[in-house]
A = this chain, B = another copy of it.
């Protein structure tokens, strides 16, 4: 394998991208159907998929769940600003945010904001408990701003390819 993890770029040809495009929409698509779409045999497709999984291009295979349907109706965006910029403090924050299941996505960003969190909860009461634990009781957090999601226009989990 060329590169198991790491952030380096992997060489992908047009066929690989075409396969990814299909798998991104529906990874249950039979290799047979993918094969005829990209003018290849099923095993050839299979080998390419395997390689992309090994190199980390395909990071995982997941069923996409509608949060509202499982009673997790509330999505929140939280911009977090930290007190200092010490590396150690960031590691702590990363570990903390990662460990919370309600924190669906967490990004470290530039600018006056340090972290952006996408949080999914059942109720606002649940979120308030969370804010206490993550922000108010966290001395490293200077400030945080919450934006409440009213509508998910595009649920995006797909990466634009090509």
CB-contact partner of A153 in B24, B108, B147, B156, under 8 A: B108
Contact B62 A158 (CB under 8 A): yes
Tell me whether A148 is interfacial, beta carbon within 8 Å.
Answer: yes
Task: Give CA–CA (A20, B101) in the complex, Å.
Answer: 15
Contact B157 A62 (CB under 8 A): yes
Task: Give CA–CA (A107, B66) in the complex, Å.
Answer: 14
Q: Chain B residues with Cβ under 8 A from A129's Cβ?
A: none
Contact A149 B64 (CB under 8 A): no
CB-contact partner of A56 in B66, B75, B160, under 8 A: B66
Tell me whether A124 is interfacial, beta carbon within 8 Å.
Answer: no
What is the copy number of this chain in the assembly? 2
Tell me whether A9 is interfacial, beta carbon within 8 Å.
Answer: yes
Tell me whether A141 is interfacial, beta carbon within 8 Å.
Answer: no
Q: Chain B residues with Cβ under 8 A from A57's Cβ?
A: 65-66, 69-70
Task: Give CA–CA (A155, B150) in the complex, Å.
Answer: 22
CB-contact partner of A104 in B23, B59, B67, B154, under 8 A: B154
Having A65-B161, A75-B107, A77-B109, one finds 13 other A-B pairs with CB under 8 Å, namely: A23-B62, A23-B63, A26-B60, A57-B66, A60-B63, A61-B63, A62-B157, A102-B160, A104-B158, A108-B149, A108-B152, A108-B153, A110-B150
Using a CB–CB cutoff of 8 Å, the interface residues on chain A facing chain B are: 7-10, 12, 17, 20, 23-28, 55-73, 75, 77, 94, 97-98, 101-111, 113, 115-116, 118, 120, 147-161
